[in-house]
Structure 1
Amino acid sequence: MSITREKAAERYPRLGQLIAGEMKYDGGWSTIDVIDPTTGSVLGAVSMATEADVDEALAAASKGFDIWRNTSAFERSKLMRKVAERMRESAEALAELLVLELGKPWNEALGEVEVAAGMWEWAAEEGKRAYGRVIPSRESNARQMVLVEPVGPVAAFVTWNGPLVTPSRKMSGALGAGCSIVLRASEEVPACAFALGQIVYECGLPAGALSVLTGDPVMMSRNLLESPITRAVTFTGSTNVGKQLSQLAVSHMKRPIMELGGHAPVLVFDGINIQDFAKRAVAAKFANCGQVCFAPTRFYVQRSIYPDIVDAMTEEAKRIVVGCGFDPKTQMGPLKSERRLQAIERLVDDARQRGLRVTTGGRSLDRPGFFFEPTVVADVTTEPKLSNEEPFGPIAALTPFDTYEEAIALANRLPYGLSAFVHARDFETLHRATNDVEAGNVICNGWRVTYPETPFGGHKESGMLSEGGIEGLRAFQNVKYAVLS
């Protein structure tokens, strides 16, 4: 890789609003600076859409839906496969934006491009399999059918920690089902979403089937969800905001599809390979600087192997190279913002004040940008903030347990239920835990939570419905019962 941060920053694009297929730059909008987390410097400016812009996008979505829903599933699939191909062809350009806006290491950024492209590929194929069914009739001259139809124009809201994956999941799911979509991109990582939207239109999407805007979230959520045009809302972000959007959506009878916060437990039972576990656990924990909703955060370890796990994870965390994502040696980049850096500092300060052991890390780095050391905290009880608030950063909290029942109680004690991990050699333990852990995704002896073909969604306060897989397609569909006689 020969790309430098300085050269990449010079190529950072001019940003506007993508409305009905046209990238608009001169709307007289107010703007917000986009900050490079690696240096703390300004990359560019992102505009804030007006109510008129939102209304224009909604009107376009209504017209675009009429065209797109009547486009055959096979033609829709062909276009969406082109999107996946174009993303792979543009992988380095897209990865460059990811590193600039989020600070991801280069290889992680390329990996996100591939995952996002795979989502388009999967939705392209699954959209051709939106099957209904025929129900045997009680009357000889009647045919009873169940038909599957797109729900209608979709309002989408995405957060900043998956600049390509999250918009791709929502765009591909909605478009694959035959819906149009208006997506509010995060003003913290806007260039990725706009680049994706432009690729989709370059592949031939009808005007209006997609708009990408940035703007005030309160104004946009109100206008999008109060409009009679919108029929569903999909949101990825915090539980508190998700609750507010869900209430607004339900009050206007819009379908809420919510992927919300998590605080993923990891149950570690004796008999495992400790060094192998520690190596893979640390890689999973500190990917994207820990800024992943399904990242492992609360490690509950059987007491017989607890000291060895603490030592092994501590040593692995110490080896992580922290730096600029364009440096090929870098394994972990910065936190996204000063706000995130301060939040992590507060969690570690609270842990120290309570006398917990910080076995490695625990401090911000004395350099420009928002860097924090990979951190392991041991002997964590249920009282510290770290045990109860989603850290969304590079902190692993370790706690010993004695019995299976104690481990399950610890895993289930919080209102979150997005992801959980179980590591054990004994199949009976894995089988029991799969049933007993309260989460939408339970991963045994592994770390990969989601693929394009698998459903992704949370239980309890971590969400409603799923995105991805056949379940994700169904979230954007209506079921109609019809009789012909």
Structure 2
Amino acid sequence: MLIDGESVVDGGDGTIEVLDPATGQAVAHVPAASAADVDRAVTAARRSFADGRWHGLAAEERRRILWRFADLIAANFTELSHIDVVDNGMPLAFAEWEIRSCEAWTRAAAGLATQIFGRNASTMASGGGTNMHAYTLVQPVGVVGLIVPWNAPAGNLMVKLGNALAAGNSCVVKPAEETPLSALRLGELALEAGIPPGVLNILPGHGRVAGQAIADHADIDKISFTGSTATGKHIVRSAAGNLKRVTLELGGKSPAIVFDDADLDAAIPQVAMAIFANTGQVCFAGSRLFVQRGAYDKVVAGVADFAKSLKIGSGFDSANLLGPLISSKQQDRVADYMQRGRQQGAEVVTGGGLLDGQGFFVEPTIFANVHRDMDIVREEIFGPVLVATPFDDIAEVVAAANDTRYGLGAGVFTRDVNKAHSMARAIDAGNVWVNCYGTIHPSLPFGGFKESGWGREMGAEGLAAFTETKAVYIQLEG
């Protein structure tokens, strides 16, 4: 663990065995933080915030240090990429994209550190003949808890951490117990970059212990959490103790919608990788495919052929575009959903099975002949499982796309610009991609509608989530 700038090798909750999902074999052991460990880290973070060792620096100095942090991420690109392949099982190409994104997000956060401004409201506050100078101050929230999932360990951390540090906060991070290694390495690089001890504390640990302690802690001012909707609801209940601010990036059951006027040859690989990228372990995965009836057979057959062509195995083999699921527990979960799909009458177009041998592998799977009440249609599976449905007109597909408790992402494939804009407006999702899927840029916000979360990450909105705004009124003489 990293607490107050020091490496801590003993955790009060024992140890965590870290497995390589491609082999099922242990690759590391890390300490598991207890509630007492969390308290030590929060105390260190609060002390660092109180004495201003980070937020008290000039904004230009915070920018310089964060830029140096991004330089170190770039300098350690290969190591960080390989850590997440071993830790998560993802293909190396996906891990490399993730670490490049970490660098980009950190540089964007560095720039935002000098773009935190209040506003002069003296004119509005000076009515009635008073001589009033009024303005707003934008300040860091204080001590923030960052709880990170396992599906993109480094990336999910840096999306949160960059803006939290840019705003001047002190941080307590809990990486997922399955994937703690890249967070610990990034913590070392942060210290090397010049982030003061105590400002960033990293605690591997179990959610039920360390995560719960962070959610409950009375001296944490805000939590930013990415993970399941069920856990997000639990955090909201726990945060009520001291009314912590909460940002939640939760689950999804996102639609990919293909109209018959789309460039189908271009759309087919896009909608395939919308669900199969990172073995479907993506919060905004395009897990529901809607195709206009005239193109339905061609698109479903094309996606099925694409799925059959995917090579599956270790992420270190560049020929493999699909890696394992994160754990045997997740493999069992996905297998259970596929079995329920069959039992409820869905047709398996391709896949539907597990791979023999070491590791937690599952075939890329497509179901057809589905209806809205099936579990595989309603619930987030978090695996490479796609459900396909034909539609006839815009009104029908909008209603079907919005018929979910989630609202994180949506893809629309069409050559008709009017249709593209109309669909972007009509779909209840925080992110809409037209003739592409899953594009993310650090200047734009990311988040969801409905049970896909609260608030936004990245961009100016992501920075604002880590600040408080104060109104100041000064009565002047004369």
Please give the range of the TM-score, normalised by the shorter of the 2 chains: over 0.9
Q: Does 1:352 align with 2:352?
A: no
TM-score, structure 2 normalization: 0.95
Give the match's secondary structure for 1:42: strand
**Partner in structure 2 of residue 35 of structure 1:** 19
Q: Does 1:110 align with 2:96?
A: yes
Runs of 4+, deviation exceeding 4 Å: none
TM-aligned CA deviation for residue 227 of structure 1: 3.3
Q: Does 1:338 align with 2:328?
A: yes
CA distance 1:87–1:131, change in 2 (3 Å): same
Counterparts of 1:441-452 in structure 2 under 5 Å? 441-452=431-442
Aligned mates of 1:73, 1:181 — CA distance in 2: 18
Asked if the contact 1:274–1:312 (Cα under 8 Å) also holds between the matched residues in 2, the reply is: no
| 1:336-358 alpha-carbon deviations (Å, 9 max, x no partner) | 11111111111221222233221
Give the match's secondary structure for 2:30: strand
Q: Give the letter aligned to residue 8 of structure 2.
A: K
Give the match's secondary structure for 2:291: strand
Q: Mean Cα displacement is larger for which, 265-274 or 139-148?
A: 139-148
TM-aligned CA deviation for residue 222 of structure 1: 4.2
Aligned mates of 1:431, 1:141 — CA distance in 2: 48
**Partner in structure 2 of residue 25 of structure 1:** 9
TM-aligned CA deviation for residue 203 of structure 1: 0.6
Counterparts of 1:40-119 in structure 2 under 5 Å? 40-65=24-49, 66-119=52-105
Q: Give the letter aligned to residue 306 of structure 1.
A: Y
Counterparts of 1:458-473 in structure 2 under 5 Å? 458-473=448-463
Q: Does 1:317 align with 2:303?
A: no
TM-aligned CA deviation for residue 140 of structure 1: 5.9
Aligned residues: 469
Counterparts of 1:259-274 in structure 2 under 5 Å? 259-274=249-264
Cα RMSD after superposing both structures: 1.4
**Partner in structure 2 of residue 174 of structure 1:** 164
> Where does the alignment leave 5 or more consecutive residues of structure 1 unmatched?
1-16
Aligned mates of 2:211, 2:273 — CA distance in 1: 36
Q: Does 1:216 align with 2:206?
A: yes
Q: Mean Cα displacement is larger for which, 118-127 or 28-37?
A: 28-37
Asked if the contact 2:147–2:225 (Cα under 8 Å) also holds between the matched residues in 1, the reply is: yes
| 1:102-150 alpha-carbon deviations (Å, 9 max, x no partner) | 1111111111100111111111101210121111241563211011111
Which of residues 106, 116, 140 is equivalent to 1:120? 106
Give the match's secondary structure for 1:194: helix
CA distance 1:264–1:207, change in 2 (3 Å): same
Give the match's secondary structure for 2:388: strand
**Partner in structure 1 of residue 187 of structure 2:** 197
**Partner in structure 2 of residue 163 of structure 1:** 153
**Partner in structure 2 of residue 10 of structure 1:** none
| 1:350-409 alpha-carbon deviations (Å, 9 max, x no partner) | 222233221211111112101111112222211221101112111111100112111011
Give the match's secondary structure for 1:448: coil
CA distance 1:350–1:219, change in 2 (3 Å): closer
Aligned mates of 2:331, 2:220 — CA distance in 1: 37
Quick one: percent identity of the two aligned structures? 37
Aligned mates of 2:457, 2:94 — CA distance in 1: 22
| 1:67-100 alpha-carbon deviations (Å, 9 max, x no partner) | 2111111111111111111111101101111110
Give the match's secondary structure for 2:113: helix
Asked if the contact 1:441–1:449 (Cα under 8 Å) also holds between the matched residues in 2, the reply is: no
Aligned mates of 1:441, 1:426 — CA distance in 2: 19
Aligned mates of 1:250, 1:29 — CA distance in 2: 25
